[in-house]
């Protein structure tokens, strides 16, 4: 009689390393800040979608977000996604599950993540990022078994492709005069849904994939060394990554920050170049943020009620991410609260912080009650079945 491999359950929460969960919890704040202003009804925007005629406070907030948030949360999330997927595959291989079966498992989970992203875009928000992770897992699952050299080479090639794609998007925005045509401004529900799907499809197949893939590959590389789970063994690497990654991201973001706050007025190829520079250096910044959180966890700052609440949010990151879109749709869109027609960038960022804080409180309550995130449970059930 042939015995099947033992069932592999998810790692118990009490046994999880705090650094990845803390990073995901904090990352959701960056995502909320990056998404909120995309619901505002600016007629003309800067390179990153902020108002060109905002108040001094609006410009200050926009400048800070261009420098530290925009294009930085996505690669941070991508690195954590690659890290987690590599650990998932590694646990099953260590338990005796054959590699082909593990690959099928990874691809099935990725396919469902892609379906979650499509539903998210159809119902709520065109800027969905779940589908990009699902698409990466489907197409590039083989990277989980690739050599380290292949991972690094893939990251460099994808970063070069990233520059080309962002430059093309920048040229398109320049040709359109930076007019704001966001689907979040459309009042008719059916028309808005169609526009969301159209924009989401284009973004996922181009910009998001080349934005996710470099950090995803490096996250797989880091998972093989358990960099976030065992930060004490990798302190020099983490310190260099935090210092140089964030420094590169800030240096690459300053020119576009000056442009989007109207202190500089680049046009044509110069503006497109600054836009591409800002985006590609965000990959380094996202990796630096993840390393900084791991260092903080190493120094004992991953304990206490605030850290526990952030970790609980990270453990339920899928649920909390989707709840952000539910809240923003209810508050900002013309069909519901229509705050997008009345608020500036600074106020929208304040709303984003409050929405994120509400999800942190909810996640902390769920942790105390012993409840998993409902969308995490659903994804796991669809991936593994009832066993």
**Amino acid 16: pLDDT:** 60
pLDDT at 9: 43
**Contact 162/210 with Cβ under 8 angstroms?**
yes
CA dihedral (194, 195, 198, 200) positive or negative: negative
User: Residues in the chain with pLDDT < 70?
Assistant: 1-17, 299-303, 386-387
Task: Give pLDDT tens digits for 136-188.
Answer: 999 999 999 999 999 999 999 999 999 999 999 999 989 888 888 889 888 89
pLDDT for 1 equals 34
- Residue 288: CB atoms within 10 A of its CB come to 25
pTM above 0.85, yes or no: yes
User: Tell me, what's the pLDDT at 185?
Assistant: 87
> Which residue has tokens 């890290």?
83
Cα 173 to chain centroid, rounded? 23
- The confidence score (pLDDT) of residue 8 equals 41
Tokens standing for residue 189: 């529900």
- Rounded to whole angstroms, the Cα distance separating 292 from 30 reads 15
pLDDT at 317: 95
Q: Could you write out the DSSP letters of every residue in 283-297?
A: HHHHHHHHHHHHHHH
pLDDT value of position 45: 87
Q: What does the pLDDT read at residue 3? A: 35
């Amino acid at each position: 009689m042939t015995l099947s491999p033992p069932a592999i359950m998810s790692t118990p929460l009490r046994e999880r390393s705090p650094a990845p969960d803390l990073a995901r919890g904090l990352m959701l704040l960056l995502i909320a800040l990056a998404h909120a202003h995309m619901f505002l009804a600016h007629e003309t925007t800067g390179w990153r979608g902020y108002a060109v005629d905002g108040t001094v406070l609006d410009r200050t907030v926009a400048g800070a977000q261009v420098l530290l948030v925009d294009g930085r949360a996505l690669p941070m999330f991508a690195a954590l996604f690659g890290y987690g997927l590599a650990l998932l595959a590694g646990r099953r291989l260590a338990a005796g599950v054959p590699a082909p079966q593990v690959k099928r498992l990874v691809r099935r989970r990725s396919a469902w993540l892609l379906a979650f992203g499509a539903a998210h875009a159809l119902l709520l928000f065109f800027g969905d990022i779940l589908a990009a992770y699902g698409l990466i897992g489907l197409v590039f699952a083989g990277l989980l078994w690739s050599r380290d050299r292949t991972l690094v080479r893939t990251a460099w090639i994808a970063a070069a492709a990233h520059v080309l794609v962002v430059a093309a998007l920048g040229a398109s925005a320049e040709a359109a005069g930076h007019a704001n045509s966001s689907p979040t401004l459309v009042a008719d529900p059916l028309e808005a849904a169609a526009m969301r799907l159209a924009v989401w499809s284009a973004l996922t197949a181009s910009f998001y994939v080349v934005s996710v893939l470099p950090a995803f590959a490096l996250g797989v590389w880091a998972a093989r060394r358990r960099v976030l789970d065992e930060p004490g063994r990798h302190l020099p690497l983490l310190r260099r990554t935090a210092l140089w990654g964030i420094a590169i991201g800030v240096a690459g973001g300053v020119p576009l920050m000056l442009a989007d706050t109207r202190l500089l007025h680049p046009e044509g190829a110069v503006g497109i170049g600054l836009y591409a520079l800002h985006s590609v250096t965000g990959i380094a910044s996202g990796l630096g943020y993840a390393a900084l959180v791991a260092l903080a966890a190493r120094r004992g700052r991953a304990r206490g009620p605030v850290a526990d609440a952030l970790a609980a949010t990270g453990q339920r990151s899928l649920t909390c991410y989707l709840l952000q879109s539910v809240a923003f749709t209810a508050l900002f869109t013309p069909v519901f609260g229509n705050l997008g027609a009345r608020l500036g960038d600074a106020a929208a960022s304040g709303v984003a912080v409050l929405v994120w804080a509400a999800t942190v409180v909810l996640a902390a309550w769920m942790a105390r009650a012993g409840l998993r995130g409902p969308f995490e449970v659903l994804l796991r059930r669809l991936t593994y079945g009832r066993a």
